[in-house]
Amino acid sequence: MEVLHVITPLFVSLIVGGTFVGIVFGAIPGMTATMAVAVCLPLTYSLGLENGLALLLGLYVGGISGGLVPAILLGIPGTPSSITTCFDGYPMCQRGDGEKALRIGIISSLVGGLISLAVLYFFAPTLADFAIQFSYVEKFLIILFALTVMAALSSDMLIGIFSGFLGLLVSLIGTYGIESGGNGEIRLIPPGLEYWLESGFALLPVLIGLFGLAAILEEAEIGVPESQSARNVRLGAGTGFSLSVFRGQIGNLIRSSGIGTFVGILPGVGGSAASILSYTATKALSSHPETFGKGEPAGVIASESGNNGLTGGALVPLMSLGIPGDSTTALLIGAFTLQGIQVGPLFIGQNPVTWDAIIVAMLIANLAMFAMMYFAIRYIARVVSVPKPILFPIILMMCVIGAYTINYGIMFDVWSLLIFGLFGWLAQKLRLEIAPFIIGFILGPSAEIYFVKSLESFGDLTIFFTKSWIAVVLWILIAASVAGSVLLARKTRRAREGR
Amino acid sequence: MGDLTHVTVNFETSHLIFPTLIAIVLVILGLAILITNRRQIAGAGPYWRGVLDRMDKVRFLGTIALTVIYFMLMVPVGDTWPNTGLGFLICSIPYVFLSGVLFLRHRAPRDLLPVAISALVAPTLVWWLFTDLFALTLP
Judged by a CB distance cut-off of 8 A, whether residue A496 touches chain B is no
**How many domains does one find in chain B?**
2
Are B68 and B34 contained in the same domain? no
**At A230, is the pLDDT very low, low, confident or very high (cuts 50, 70, 90)?**
low
Are B86 and B30 contained in the same domain? no
Q: Which of B2, B18, B134 sits opposite A172 (nearest CB)?
A: B18
Kindly provide the ipTM of the predicted complex, given to two decimals. Answer: 0.95
Strands A186-187 and A174-175: antiparallel
Domain assignment of residue B111, given as a range = 56-133
What pLDDT was estimated at residue A57? 95
- Sequence-distant (6+) residues with CB within 8 A of A224 are A388, A389, A392, B56, B59, B103, B105
Closest-CA residue to B59 (of B26, B120, B107, B27): B107
Judged by a CB distance cut-off of 8 A, whether residue A428 touches chain B is no
Specify if B129 maps to a domain: yes
User: Tens of pLDDT along A195-214?
Assistant: 999 999 988 889 889 988 99
Report the alpha-carbon distance of residue A455 to residue A452 in Å, rounded: 5
Report the alpha-carbon distance of residue A477 to residue A387 in Å, rounded: 47
A303 class by beta-carbon count within 10 Å (0-12 exposed, 13-18 middle, 19+ buried): buried
Are B60 and B45 contained in the same domain? no
Contact A146, A447 (CB under 8 A): no
Specify if B139 maps to a domain: no
Are B18 and B65 contained in the same domain? no
Report the alpha-carbon distance of residue A113 to residue A256 in Å, rounded: 11
Specify if B117 maps to a domain: yes
Are B122 and B69 contained in the same domain? yes
Whether residue B134 and residue A400 make contact (CB cut-off 8 A), yes or no, is no
Are B64 and B46 contained in the same domain? no
Are B7 and B63 contained in the same domain? no
**Residue A96 Ramachandran class (φ > 0 left, ψ -120 to 50 alpha, else beta):** left
**At B1, is the pLDDT very low, low, confident or very high (cuts 50, 70, 90)?**
low
pTM to 2 decimal places: 0.87
- Answer yes or no: is pLDDT of A311 > 80: yes
Are B73 and B123 contained in the same domain? yes
User: Tens of pLDDT along A377-387?
Assistant: 888 888 777 88
A96 class by beta-carbon count within 10 Å (0-12 exposed, 13-18 middle, 19+ buried): middle
Report the alpha-carbon distance of residue A85 to residue A78 in Å, rounded: 10
Residue B41: closest C-alpha in chain A: A430
Are B44 and B106 contained in the same domain? no
Whether residue A217 and residue B29 make contact (CB cut-off 8 A), yes or no, is no
Contact A168, A444 (CB under 8 A): yes
Average pLDDT, chain B: 92
Are B68 and B6 contained in the same domain? no
A482 class by beta-carbon count within 10 Å (0-12 exposed, 13-18 middle, 19+ buried): middle
**At A247, is the pLDDT very low, low, confident or very high (cuts 50, 70, 90)?**
confident
Specify if B98 maps to a domain: yes
Share of residues in chain A with pLDDT > 70 (%): 96
Specify if B138 maps to a domain: no
Q: Where are the alpha helices (DSSP H) in A198-296?
A: 203-208, 214-221, 250-265, 271-285
Sign of the CA dihedral with A58 first, then A61, A65, and A66 last: positive
Q: Chain A closest CA to B11's CA: distance in Å?
A: 7
φ and ψ at residue A292, rounded to 5 degrees:
-70, 140
Contact A23, A70 (CB under 8 A): no
Are B45 and B65 contained in the same domain? no
Average pLDDT, chain A: 88
Q: In this structure, which amino acid lies at residue B134?
A: F
Whether residue B96 and residue A393 make contact (CB cut-off 8 A), yes or no, is yes
